[in-house]
Amino acid sequence: MCYKPDDPIEYLESCLQKVKELGGSEKVKWDTFVSPEKKSLPPLNGGQSRRSFFRNVMPDNSNFPYRRYDRLPPIQQFSIESDTDLSETAELIEEYDVFDPARPRPKIILVIGGPGSGKGTQSLKIAERYGFNYISVGELLRKKIHSTSSNRKWSLIAKIITTGELAPQETTITEIKQRLMQIPDEEGIVIDGFPRDVAQAISFEDQICTPDLVVFLACSSQRLKERLLKRAEQQGRPDDNLKATQRRLMNFKQNAVPLVKYFQEKGLIITFDADRDEEEVFSDISSAVDNKLFTNKEAAAGPNELDCNLIMDSGDAVYTEFDFEDQEEDLSSFSGYESTGDFSEDLRKSNIIFVVGGPGSGKGSQCEQLAKKYGFTHLSAGDLLQNELSSLSERSKLIKDIMECGEPVPGGIVIELLKEAMVSKLGDTRGFLIDGFPRELKEAEEFENKIGEPKLVFCLDCSAETMSSRLLTRNQSSQSSDNADTIKEGIESYYQASKPVIAYYERKKQLCKVDAEGTQEDVFLEVCGTIDSFLKKEEAAFSFSTETQ
């Protein structure tokens, strides 16, 4: 419900006139007649949240007359008023199907590779050879940015892309879905430039489908750099500036290996050496696509080994600067690479402990006590962001714009802040206690790739009722404006985001669940017992190593 016309007849006449102006009924979309000047209606059920409203009015059972794919897609442009609004919108987006289940699904080929690997060229050749439709995700986003330049959300996304960061995952997935829904009759679709990391791959499968084939164009870093510099001279794309190019190459090198391994485990990917002539590469791709999609299924793409030398040049460290001609260019405005130096090995050897828990679980208080007892450095992701905002750096301006629009700060920026803080304390600390991080699985994986694995992950397990009661008491003393509904939604968001993170660390045998229902002292004693046991094992292992040497 968004519009109730005062004169229904006049409103219908204006709608018919609009159809004529658009060029006929085939140009009409479901939101064509939604007025951009609409005012928000008062909330239903006296302030009931959107999530609970949809849960109540659209129950998920077989007797309900509407199936999942009958639900309407989201309006293309929406105002992001808060972090909660964004996550709830993303949740509703997942509740409709992209492809009509009554019709055969088109074959989906994903083409991935580093910037400058030839993804666009090869994708177009594949689409032309097999009569498939071609979608360039990068072009899709650039066109959207150009056509909605006055929209604040898209202005922010343009700024993120121009710095070489990945566009927000939910936004990118939404654009792909809407494009796919415009071409329902295609036999096949080639998607160029997506996914860029494992989290995007998982999201694509959850919200769209499992691809039929993934083509990975492996290309040496030196060749990528040469091609990107040449393209920058010829095309002048805004995201081909020096800073963005270095950042995009860095993102690719950090995400490529886990992404390829993810698809290898599913038997979906074929890797090609893209350093060669494009016709040679395309000939090999054509043979593979023929075998995989059109003839003998036994010849399907298997988990062929990835030659990491095609991604990581010999001598390259994960944080090594790329040797572009203009080495003097200041990269510190958006990353901490220059200021932190190459401390990768030292960081990976550090004792890193994550402390996760819902709002009101007591993780901050526990970290403060643990830091004093054991000589650890306590780092809070929230505090680091606030400290950065008080500075006058370019990065602080970007963070401020993101937060003002209600977008979550990208995990890459948070990890940069954590890395800089950790490097500044190396040699002066026994380890690092990090609370409020990771917020989601993608951040956990990115932290491991860029910094290292945590030795322990404490999960302060606490009921929603206890956390809510603690927060309400705390807010009364601090005169906070957060009410019971806001607190409840924050706790629900935590539970939803934390499940895959907790499951991930459980599988890796790093998780320690702690009952946080008791007093602060009881919780502290339980956590200390686990840390003491861990430190004893570390000391014993170190002694054994020394004696052996």
Three-class SS string for 39-59?
CCCCCHHHCCCHHHHHHHHCC
- Distances from the Cα of 57 to the Cα of 45, 51, 60, 355, angstroms: 12, 10, 10, 37
Is 148 buried (19+), middle (13-18) or exposed (0-12) by CB count in 10 A?
Answer: middle
Give pLDDT, residue 295.
66
Closest CA to 206 of 83, 88, 85, 97: 97
Structure token pair of residue 276:
């060669």
User: pLDDT per residue over 293-323, tens digit each?
Assistant: 886 544 334 444 555 455 544 334 333 333 3
Helix and strand counts by DSSP (H, E) for the chain: 21, 10
Contact 69, 97 (CB under 8 A): yes
Closest CA to 246 of 158, 140, 326, 340: 326
Count, residues in the chain: 549
Closest CA to 124 of 202, 193, 46, 203: 193
Provide the residue type at 49 as one letter.
S
d(CA 241, CA 247): 10
Structure token pair of residue 46:
């006296």
The β-bridge partners of 458 are 355, 512
- Domain borders along the chain are 1-41, 107-310, 337-548
Which H/E stretch holds residue 257?
A: helix 242-265
Q: Would the CATH topology of 107-310 be identical to that of 337-548?
A: yes
3-state secondary structure 528-543: HHHHHHHHHHHHHHHH
- Distances from the Cα of 70 to the Cα of 58, 66, 89, 95, 320, angstroms: 12, 6, 17, 9, 50
Produce one character per residue of 197-235: b if its CB has 16 or more CB atoms within 10 Å, e if not.
bbbbbbbbeebbeebbbbbbbbbbbebbbebbbeebeee
d(CA 153, CA 174): 14
Provide the residue type at 80 as one letter.
I
Helix (H, G, I), strand (E, B) or coil at 495: helix
Q: Sheet with 269-273: list strands edge to edge.
A: 133-136, 188-192, 107-113, 213-218, 269-273
Backbone angles phi, psi at 537, to 5 degrees: -65, -40
CATH superfamily, domain 337-548, is: P-loop containing nucleotide triphosphate hydrolases (3.40.50.300)
User: pLDDT per residue over 363-416, tens digit each?
Assistant: 889 999 999 999 999 999 888 888 888 877 777 877 887 777 667 788 888 888
User: What is the sign, positive or negative, of the torsion defined by CA atoms of 451, 453, 456, 458?
Assistant: positive
Ranges of the chain with pLDDT below 70:
1-3, 35-96, 149-150, 162-166, 229, 231-248, 251, 295-343, 405-406, 478-482, 541-549
Closest CA to 358 of 499, 456, 477: 499
d(CA 384, CA 418): 8
CATH-assigned architecture of domain 107-310: 3-Layer(aba) Sandwich (3.40)
d(CA 329, CA 322): 11
Closest CA to 172 of 199, 132, 134, 212: 199
Which H/E stretch holds residue 420?
A: helix 411-425
| Cα-trace Rg, the chain | 26
d(CA 418, CA 434): 9
Closest CA to 223 of 263, 270, 275, 156: 275
Note the Cα 401 to chain centre separation in Å.
18
Helices 198-207 and 242-265 meet at what angle, rounded to 10? 60
The β-bridge partners of 216 are 112, 271
Residue tagged 């792909």 (tokens): 176
Give pLDDT, residue 49.
46
Helix (H, G, I), strand (E, B) or coil at 110: strand
Closest CA to 306 of 352, 367, 362, 262: 262
Give pLDDT, residue 282.
93
Where would I find the beta strands (DSSP E) of 137-212?
188-192
d(CA 531, CA 80): 41
Produce one character per residue of 344-353: b if its CB has 16 or more CB atoms within 10 Å, e if not.
beebeebbbb
Give pLDDT, residue 77.
41
Closest CA to 420 of 457, 357, 377, 455: 377
Does this model's pTM top 0.85? Answer: no
Helices 441-450 and 242-265 meet at what angle, rounded to 10? 110
Note the Cα 89 to chain centre separation in Å.
15
Which H/E stretch holds residue 175?
A: helix 169-181
Give pLDDT, residue 401.
75
Q: Sheet with 352-357: list strands edge to edge.
A: 377-380, 432-435, 352-357, 456-461, 511-515
